[in-house]
Structure 1
Amino acid sequence: MQILADLLNTIPAIDSTAMSRAQRHIDGLLKPVGSLGKLEVLAIQLAGMPGLNGIPHVGKKAVLVMCADHGVWEEGVAISPKEVTAIQAENMTRGTTGVCVLAEQAGANVHVIDVGIDTAEPIPGLSTCVSHEVRQYCFSSGNESPSG
């Protein structure tokens, strides 16, 4: 435990001046104050990291997009049918969606992960958490939605 305590004691204090500057800058942008939620908090925390002089540098950036169908179309909640989920997921693997354009501008890679898309065939280029066959069995077992 002492090794951990010694290590923690070597971490410099946050740069509160840089954090205040970042807060003022973000609040001065043409948008409602606080409208970016946790993204604003993260930016301010990054600015306060010791040794960065208020200019955060994030080397490797990634956007993880988790795609799934949750039965909301069948419940009348979603505006698009569930087939759109598979189409959008495939489009993301091609880099042709809005999130891909924004990620490219930020220098981030987009990783599209199938966590429960209800499709007859697997979508090429997607990472998966559960095999397509297992998901299809779950969807065809009588449940209208994976949540129910």
Structure 2
Amino acid sequence: MNIKDIISNIEPADKEVFRQAQERTANLIMPPRALGRLNDIGEKICSIQRTMKPKVDKRMVFVMAGDHGIVEERVAAFPQEVTGQMMGAFVAGLASINVLSRQAKSKVLVADIGAVCDVNAVPADPDNTFVVKKIRKGTANFTKGAAMTREEAEKCIMAGFEIADEMIKRYDLNLIATGDMGIGNTTPSSAIGAVFTGETAEVMTGFGSGIDNDALKRKIDVIKRGIELNKPDKSDALDVLSKVGGLEIGAIAGVILAGAYHKIPVLVDGIISAAGALIAYGLCPVAVEYMISGHKSVEPGQIKMLQYMGLEPLVDLGLRLGEGTGAVMAMHSVEAGVRVITEISTFAEAGVSTKEM
């Protein structure tokens, strides 16, 4: 299977089931759409899963990891070796994503798609999985040329798809989420966002994991120079990914395509996952029908990227961590939306009088 095969087998969400879900929502024992976004979520999940009895109890967050040559330009707050160290912490079950995933009853998969270091780790928890599908050891510095070749861009997307495809089949997953790890990865994410949305680097770029004002100026300049040098073509998502993207960003796009392919909802995390979503959307616009934005990040470019795809974040908790933490937190809202549409009675079922006109 290749990317074309995958895209050709992705179908739109079911409009007839969506209509039925809206009809049920209109008759639940509450004022019209009184539960707001929860009503929206329930209807969307019904249409994605093609059933009025959807389930979201089998969950996994896919944390894709990779390194970035652009850190040579001093755009990151932490040294590159932290990528490998954090992968080890994820596998050991010690990090934020592990704690929040345990609360959300979600499995965690960590995948080395392009870290500079090699991590040899055995998961300490049966709900954790570690996979190595390294395409190359980090991207190139995109101020000096393309971040990767087009072939490598295709490979990292396929790596993400294959990993998610296997796990979806193995565990019969019905809700997945995207996460990331990679020092410096907000820079290529902001660059991808600027290319697709047409917004300036100043609008799309934030402080990442905690850089200072001088580093922010460098980061904006780096993005401008990278785009000017490489001239990524927004009508060709693979071109954008290869020229200013990241290996883990491509893998996130592959995970999203796997969710759409298998007709299950995908919770998209912060700005790095939004960049992966943009690549998936560029390859297959229908894939956005399977995406749910988990949260609003403090990174300014993320909301522009979501608006471009017509997505609205579920929660705003002021998060700026990545790892998939916001997407996993949103699993609670998704479950609530599903319970609303499947468990609350209609006026007729409960024998409750409807509103008088």
**TM-score of the superposition, structure 2-length normalised?**
0.27
TM-aligned CA deviation for residue 44 of structure 1: 5.1
- What stretches of structure 1 of length at least 5 have no aligned partner? 1-10, 29-40
Structure that is richer in helix per residue: 2
Cα gap change, 1:81/1:109 in structure 2, threshold over 3 Å: closer, same or farther? Answer: same
Q: Select 2:119's aligned residue among 102, 118, 122.
A: 122
Q: Is the 8 A contact 2:17 2:51 kept in 1?
A: yes
Report 1:72-111 matches (<5 A).
72-111=70-109
Q: Select 1:58's aligned residue among 44, 56, 59.
A: 56
Q: Is the 8 A contact 1:68 1:117 kept in 2?
A: yes
Partner-residue secondary structure (3-state), 1:73: helix
Alignment length (residue pairs):
115
Partner-residue secondary structure (3-state), 1:74: helix
Report 1:1-148 matches (<5 A).
13-14=17-18, 15-17=21-23, 25=35, 27=37, 45-46=44-45, 50-52=51-53, 56-119=54-117, 121-125=118-122, 126-130=130-134, 135=136, 147=147
Cα gap change, 1:71/1:12 in structure 2, threshold over 3 Å: closer, same or farther? Answer: same
TM-aligned CA deviation for residue 57 of structure 1: 2.3
Q: Deviations over 1:100-146 (max 9, x none)?
A: 11111111110000001111x4332331113xxx745x88xxx5689
TM-aligned CA deviation for residue 25 of structure 1: 3.2
Q: Is the 8 A contact 1:95 1:101 kept in 2?
A: yes
| Partner Cα distance (1:83, 1:109) in 2 | 25
* One-letter amino acid of the counterpart of residue 128, structure 1: V
Partner-residue secondary structure (3-state), 1:25: coil
Q: Is the 8 A contact 1:19 1:45 kept in 2?
A: no
| Partner Cα distance (2:67, 2:136) in 1 | 11
| Partner Cα distance (2:36, 2:95) in 1 | 27
Partner-residue secondary structure (3-state), 1:81: coil
| Partner Cα distance (1:108, 1:67) in 2 | 19
User: 1:6 maps to what in 2?
Assistant: none
| Partner Cα distance (2:35, 2:68) in 1 | 39
Cα gap change, 1:72/1:99 in structure 2, threshold over 3 Å: closer, same or farther? Answer: farther
| Partner Cα distance (2:25, 2:107) in 1 | 27
Cα gap change, 1:98/1:86 in structure 2, threshold over 3 Å: closer, same or farther? Answer: same
| Partner Cα distance (1:86, 1:118) in 2 | 8
Q: Deviations over 1:45-69 (max 9, x none)?
A: 11566323xxx52132100000010
Bigger CA drift: 82-91 or 41-50? Answer: 41-50
- What stretches of structure 2 of length at least 5 have no aligned partner? 1-14, 123-129, 149-357
Partner-residue secondary structure (3-state), 2:64: strand
Cα gap change, 1:92/1:24 in structure 2, threshold over 3 Å: closer, same or farther? Answer: farther
TM-aligned CA deviation for residue 19 of structure 1: 6.3
Q: Which has the higher contact order (CA 8 A, sep 6+)?
A: 2
Report which of the two structures shows the higher radius of gyration computed on alpha carbons: 1
